[in-house]
Amino acid sequence: MGAAVDHVIPIGMSRGSVEGNDKSQGQRFSSKSKLTALVVDNGGVCCAIQTALLRSYGVGTEAVETGGAAVELISSGATFSLIIIEMLLPFMNGPETAKQIRAIGAQSKVLGITAFFDERDQQEFLAARADDFIEKPLSLEIVIPIIRELNN
């Protein structure tokens, strides 16, 4: 795929304050095709921030609170360019969620995320075929390269 187009593509309407606004107007790497993301986190703060951050770069983002809800959503046909999964989730943990998501055929980039980086958790996530594992907060330094990568 070629480099991301340089001109600005108006991407969608903002959906209200807590969910963030679209800052992709004027960003140099607007998406050629619309990127989508799913945030899987049972913490309201992290959900709101990760969602807003991704949306500000034109990524259509949804959030769910459990691994089960994520699996259900994807099983029903929803596809996402990026899925961010918290390590400690109720009922079914992050790595188990990643495993099930891969098992139903999701080809998304899967990013495990956690409050406390732990090598065992990292291994568990990678064994479940997550692509990467990072410690919170989800920051611009992490998001921007991922979006670039997904655009190419």
Partner 1 sequence: MDGMTQLQRQWREHTAYLRKEGYLDDQFEQLQKLQDENSPDFVAEVVSIFFDDSEKLLNNMARALEQKVVDFKQVDAHVHQFKGSSASIGAMRVKNLCIEFRNHCEAQSLEECVRCLRKLQYEYSVLKNQLEYLFRLEQQIRAAGV
| Rounded CA separation 61/55 (Å) | 6
Residues of this chain, 9-28, that bind partner 1 according to CB under 8 A: 14, 16-23
Stretch that binds partner 1, among 49-57, 70-78, 95-103, 122-130 (CB under 8 A): 49-57
Residue whose C-alpha is closest to residue 106's, from 146, 77, 148, 66: 77
The answer to whether the beta carbons of residues 24 and 57 sit under 8 Å apart is yes
Q: How many residues does the chain have?
A: 152
Which of 38, 53, 73, 106 is the binder for partner 1 (CB under 8 A)? 53
**Measured from the CB of residue 41, what is the shortest distance to partner 1 in angstroms?**
8
Which region, left, alpha or beta, applies to residue 127 given φ > 0 means left and ψ of -120 to 50 means alpha?
A: alpha
| Stretch near partner 1 under the rule CB under 8 A, chosen from 71-79, 99-107, 111-119, 144-152 | 111-119
Q: Give least dist CB 115 to partner 1, A.
A: 4
Which residue's CB is nearer to partner 1, number 106 or number 146? Answer: 146
Q: Where are the alpha helices (DSSP H) in 32-152?
A: 44-56, 67-75, 94-103, 119-127, 140-151
Footprint of partner 1 on 58-97 (CB under 8 A)? 86, 88
Q: Which residues bind partner 1 (CB under 8 A)?
A: 14, 16-23, 42-46, 48-50, 52-53, 56, 86, 88, 114-116, 135-140
